[in-house]
Amino acid sequence: MYTVLIADDEEELRKAVIQKVDWESAGFTVVGEAENGAEALELIEQLGPDLLITDIKMPFVSGIELARQAREIRPSMQIAFLSGYDDFRFAQKAIQYNIISYMLKPISANELTEEMKVIKEKIDQKFEDLKGTNLGYREDRIRQLEQEEFLMPIFMDAEAPFAKSAEDVDSLEKKAVDLGVRKNIGEEFQYVVVVTLLEDDKRKNKTGPEHVNFVSQILDKYVTSSSFYSRGKIVTLISATARSIHKYLHILSMEVIQSAERILDLKCAMGVSHQFDQLTFAGAAYEEAVAAIQYVDEESEVQFISDISPEQAIKYEGIEETVAKLDHLIKTGERWEIERFLMGLFEEMEEDRTWKYSIDFLMVQILSCVYRTVNMASEPEAAAEFLRRCSIWNEDDDAGTNESIKQKVIQICVQARNQISSQRKANSEVICDRVLRLIDEEYSDTSLSMAVVSDKLHVSASYLSAIIKKNTGETFVSLLTRKRMEKAKEYLLCTSMKVLEISTQCGYSEQHYFSYCFKRFYGLSPNKMREEAAKAEKV
């Protein structure tokens, strides 16, 4: 059963659609209704419906603008227009916004029910296409294998930029065009590497070769992408103009995450590298994406390397699977999880006859992992202080027992976890404070939005959204709305400004929309609040 949200400013029509259509037989459940585009956006974020049915001509936010903004919030959602305007221009504009149907008013309940059945079939087909294991036609599969054969050695060679001549670089880029990895040589294309993992509720990796098609179908709607399966993960090279990457990277990653949860019933984690302009940098970017995905947690399913550290990710050699698990726990786990993991590891090693040599090798691997991780996630001064304070060689350990060495290893790993956790908390608090400051200073700007603020702070919108939610318990929109409403009330009660002037001063381009928001926030219209305040003064 799919979920649907109905948005129409004509209450009588909206209620009739909800009550008279046989939603169950069509395969849908109505989860909410909205009388305007602004309210619809809030409900989309809260309810995450599979389908939105909306009029094109609505107050505050038009149907087309609603579709555009909805794609930023829930790109996996499909949209159907129900409109009295038989204008093909609307349909043309709407194609890029996941519009699945364009219906004209008037329409009977029976006709709408039948159309909903058609829409359900279309959504079913989309789900099946993404869920299916079909790898495509023979020609497509051959092309995919050719791209994989071309990209694999590049991805596995992080030192490629230092070993390739200018002629080699040009040759690689031309070969990329021939194989469809990038569109052409003429335009200034950028690349990004994305690593995707699909996991069940217990965080067990369920990623398989069949999921390459799932990821590719979604990404190819927005950019040129080449994906392949490698050792339990989907590795993707995105090629597009810098403008397109900036515009679509957040949207496409959110659609992959939402579709994985809705269609595959799997959680999705994604790591994203910095942008780069030569294929020879793909190896280093791949390591960045792998490093970034280690920081994914329940609050943010997609992690950009640029959100972790403002500097280029440090290059490091591959580590053993055991140390990789520890690395992940240091970054996102709890103290007890680290202690339990290491004690279990040490118990296994005690059964090994080569214990003495194994612990030496393990210590080198763990310390290398810890120091690298702290160095990447912390400010330089904090990282240097950690290295000085937590060095295993601070004391005379020549006569140290295995037990003392184990305790010191555990201590260092826990301290590294605390260091990274504190640094991330401090960083997120600083960023959140900057957001609140921007809201305080620029609330009167009608263009102020999450996208604008994330650009100013040089972090991704998804990361910023998670930080704001974690630190304040609210969304960016609710914080901005509260600030605007508080200032509006202040202007209303303490000045003689007209309502139109107040709405403009508080960042609203339409007085009618401002009054709607004000009444929704305070329960009174601006004029009513001013009247009641004047009466209270006379008493």
Rounded average pLDDT over 448-461? 84
Q: In 3D, which of 83, 123, 117 has the Cα closest to residue 100?
A: 123
Judgement on whether residues 369 and 385 belong to the same structural domain of the protein: yes
Judgement on whether residues 332 and 369 belong to the same structural domain of the protein: yes
**Number of compact structural domains in the chain:** 4
Judgement on whether residues 145 and 108 belong to the same structural domain of the protein: no
Separation CA 299–CA 283 (nearest Å): 28
Separation CA 113–CA 117 (nearest Å): 6
Judgement on whether residues 380 and 283 belong to the same structural domain of the protein: no
pTM tops 0.85: no
Q: What are the beta bridge partners of residue 225?
A: 238
Q: How far is CA 387 from CA 362, 380, 381, in A?
A: 18, 11, 10
Judgement on whether residues 240 and 259 belong to the same structural domain of the protein: yes
Judgement on whether residues 155 and 245 belong to the same structural domain of the protein: yes
Q: Which of 93-97, 187-191, 257-261 has the highest mean pLDDT?
A: 257-261
Rounded average pLDDT over 365-377? 73
Task: Check pLDDT > 80 for residue 292.
Answer: yes
Task: Supply the mean pLDDT for the chain.
Answer: 81
Domain that holds residue 248: 138-297
Q: Is 380 inside a domain boundary?
A: yes
Q: Lowest mean pLDDT of 122-126, 147-151, 416-420, name the range.
A: 416-420
Q: In 3D, which of 265, 263, 266, 267 has the Cα closest to residue 128?
A: 263
> Residue 49: is the preceding peptide bond cis (ω within 30°)?
no
Task: Check pLDDT > 50 for residue 394.
Answer: no
Judgement on whether residues 107 and 166 belong to the same structural domain of the protein: no
Task: Check pLDDT > 70 for residue 468.
Answer: yes
Q: Which of 29-33, 170-174, 428-432 has the highest mean pLDDT?
A: 29-33
* pLDDT given at position 355: 46
DSSP state of 271: E
